[in-house]
Amino acid sequence: MRSTDEIKKLMISTANSDDRIRGVLLNGSRANPNITPDQYQDFDIIFIVNDLKSFTENHSWTNRFGEKLICQLPNEMFFDEDEKRKEIAFTYLMLFTDGNRIDLKLFPTEKFNTDFEPDSLTLVWLDKDNLFSNISNSTDEDYHIQKPSEKYFLDVCNEFWWVTTYVAKGLLRNEIPYAKEMLETVVRPMFMKVIEWFIGVKTDFSTAFGKSGKFMDQYLSNEHYDKILATYSNQQIEHNWKSLFLMTELFGEFANKIADNLNLNYNTDEGQNVKKYLRTVYVKQK
């Protein structure tokens, strides 16, 4: 596997040999000083380019980066026939046979002053036109947990409690795919959001949650973290009931602590009513 230095040299040499490429940036976890590097991290790279169309008319120019195991071009993919994308940048997602992955975004120079959004996790690898002369040191500040408004908090809580009843309905009907979809695509995102806010309260909103909560074990007790992991259920109906009840227990605990610490209203009756309902229908189906 090529090293970080080798990938960096490859990106810079590519840019130096092509006058259309005006800048090279590294974003993402590899630009985060708080993360210990490992071989599985992607290289999130931005090329600031002139004449974007000249790059995208023929994608073979990316072969210089190595032998690809698989490549994806999100800008050219449409899972909905009615979907219409008007994206400014063009992205190449590339996994190479040596195990390295490069997510390369081409951003047009003519849109730089109006549409380029700075990211606090940025290292400048090359800047031909001094576009980034005033950039600050790379930090994860843009990704810190944000304090919720009361409306946002209440909406998340309501969505969680409401859709748990859908999960129960699926389990009562022995419709495991439906129950799992409701649990994992609707209920769990609300569950994860209160975990995020709970950690925000504990850290005075000065840290990042990480994608899919990958940093949460650093800020939770072992007991809380183990319980959260236990909410990931298998295909058995009884195990899904246990996961659902555990999620409601933890959600209520975290939501109450968030509300108390941030002086937010919290509809405790809503949670208590739903938990009572879930217990009632669970007992009836036994």
Residue with tokens 């600050």: 136
Closest listed residue to residue 11, CA positions, set 104, 119, 88: 104
Domains delineated in the chain: 4-142 (3.30.460.10), 144-285 (1.20.120.330)
Position 128 pLDDT exceeds 90: yes
> Can you give 206-259 as a three-state secondary structure string?
CCECCHHHCCHHHCCCHHHHHHHHHCCCCCCHHHHHHHHHHHHHHHHHHHHHHH
242-263 mean pLDDT: 97
pLDDT bin (cut points 50, 70, 90) of residue 286 is low
Percentage of residues in the chain having pLDDT higher than 70: 97
- Tokens standing for residue 182: 């409701």
What is the reported pLDDT for 243? 96
- Residues 158-217: tens digit of each pLDDT: 999 999 999 999 999 999 999 999 999 999 999 999 999 999 999 999 999 988 888 999
Position 84 pLDDT exceeds 90: no
Cβ atoms within 10 A of the Cβ of 245, count? 16
pTM across the whole model: 0.86
